[in-house]
Structure 1
Amino acid sequence: MTSSWFQPIDSYCERLSPGFWAEPINAVSNGFFLLAAAYALWIWQGKDRADWPALWLITVSAIVGIGSFLFHTFANRWSLLADVLPIAVFIYSYFLLAMRRYLRLRLVSSIAFTAAFAVFNTSFGRLWFSAFPGISLNGSVGYLPALMALFLVGAACRSLGVTQPGKALLWAAFVFFLSLVFRSIDSAVCSALPLGTHALWHVLNALVLWILMNAALVHGSEERLRHVPR
């Protein structure tokens, strides 16, 4: 690694120095991701352990918490990648699972829709800043496509009669919207709230991942039960 990989990053209200524990609340709040993953794993162990896609999501959810902890302690370029890459993996993995498990698309179609979403996601920033120059929402713009996907796929599930997953995705979208609000206002409220609001993004985002993992676990079990010979 070059020295630039260790260049300090100061992005959040709570951080006042480059020290390891300069963001204690932001760092410790990542434990909620580990709690969500542990609870989902406990449910997975009580169900059909052949649900490997759900186990993959649980594993990635735990890695999200670890990666975010690294970023809010080391706070440099390499730890930024440890933070954002697992989140991207979870988003694309869950989108693919939703196409297959909830909307019942063929594998090729599911991969094609996921690839199309990835293209939209990676190009969304350019579209946003060309329409709203200078409005970065404190770095939250990149998460707006995931919010849109939750709403749209949830609505599609409800319209197709896939009721419970659709309801879960819409609830997850609502909580995710709230979490994005707290992420976006962190710098703006810094003078009034020295700790900022980024930790609430972690707490609510962990709840989002829990809602999504639970929906995958429950619907996966129901689908397998339908195919058990009576």
Structure 2
Amino acid sequence: MTAVASPLWPPGFGLHERAALADPELVAAFRGVPTALVSDCLGRCVGSRGLVPYHGDPALTLCGVALTVRVRPGDNLMLHKALTLARPGDVLVVDGSGDVSHALAGGLMRLAAIARGVAGLVVDGAIRDVAEWAEGELPVFARGHAHRGPTKDGPGEINVPVACAGLAVAPGDLVLGDADGVVAVSPNRLPELLGAVGAKAEQEEELRRHHLASRDDPALRARDDERVDALLRARGCPV
């Protein structure tokens, strides 16, 4: 990734070129795909931990392309700069080192992000003006909240790989979020993953029909019991 920033910038500051964008139609195909399905298809070992959805509506989901920001804990200068660079459909993914002593984004930034068509924010840090975020429209996931505001001194970098609440995110990754959490996927994995989540969704729908039918069919419930016992026997349990 080529740096755009002048070499005269102070240490710790950086502004880097945007990553190549994924196919917009492919990104759109993931809109509404549950994060649990994506996680299952990626080995059940990826995704954020400890982020809280603050947008009020559990049905509001996040889908967009990562514009990453790494900031000094409690400082949002480079987050403001990233917002000026954001394009419609971008997700601002902020590595704030998990610090929740000072908020990195509040209600005014929420309005600015909506005005620019930002798809959402994922903040490994704190936000504030919680009641405004809870109005919905813009998905936001954060580590916590605090009334104390940020400094605007820097340093920080934009469009660099970041760690966000246990989630590794590279610039240009697809970012999905819902009531279960947040996942990020490299663009080169999207075509294969789309097929996998489609197959997984069909499998789960079949299981839903099975469980609904088993309410009135003891034989189906007995089959489920045996499936669980078979798993236990395979692990040496005397059932």
TM (norm. structure 2) is 0.25
TM (norm. structure 1) is 0.26
Give the number of the structure whose residues are more often strand, by fraction.
2
- Structure (1 or 2) with the larger CA radius of gyration: 2
